[in-house]
């Protein structure tokens, strides 16, 4: 029988990958490139943009070239490291779920890099003059997963500190 952590990984990966790829497909099909639909005035838009770079458009000045291979290599490397640490995990549900979210998000964006040479982004938040870089469902999964990991490490650190005191 398959361990619980592998079920959590499998289900989370499938949900994140399906949600991520479906939303990107719908944006690509229904919203022309660089077009915007204002959903909540002065706060939230759907905007079809492409990101040839890393997180938040870092290092992404143009499409193609050797940069795509660098991003694919680092994505594959990061997925490998995450899988290594995932395999070392005991059956601890919060960490298993957090790692699964990050893996699912990384794989969703990697699929885009293989398919298009860049990542489709569309969630566009802004408040007054502050504009957050557009992102997608995979980015959201990565952010939530990393937040859960950070929270769990913080809790463990507090427990360790209390034991010493």
Residues noted as catalytic: 121, 139
Report the alpha-carbon distance of residue 86 to residue 99 in Å, rounded.
Answer: 7
């Amino acid at each position: 029988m398959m361990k619980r952590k592998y079920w959590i990984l499998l289900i989370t990966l499938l949900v994140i990958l399906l949600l991520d790829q479906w939303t990107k497909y719908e944006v690509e099909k229904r919203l022309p490139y660089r077009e915007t639909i204002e959903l909540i005035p002065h706060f939230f838009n759907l905007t079809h943009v492409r990101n040839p770079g890393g997180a938040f458009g870092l290092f992404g000045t143009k499409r193609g070239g050797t940069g795509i291979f660098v991003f694919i290599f680092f994505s594959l490397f990061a997925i490998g490291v995450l899988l290594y640490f995932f395999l070392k995990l005991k059956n601890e549900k919060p960490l298993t779920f957090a790692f699964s979210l990050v893996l699912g998000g990384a794989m969703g964006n990697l699929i885009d890099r293989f398919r298009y040479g860049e990542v489709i982004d569309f969630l566009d938040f802004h408040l007054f003059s502050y504009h957050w870089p557009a992102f997608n469902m995979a980015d959201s999964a990565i952010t939530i997963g990393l937040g859960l990991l950070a929270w769990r490490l913080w809790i463990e650190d507090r427990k360790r500190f209390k034991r010493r005191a």
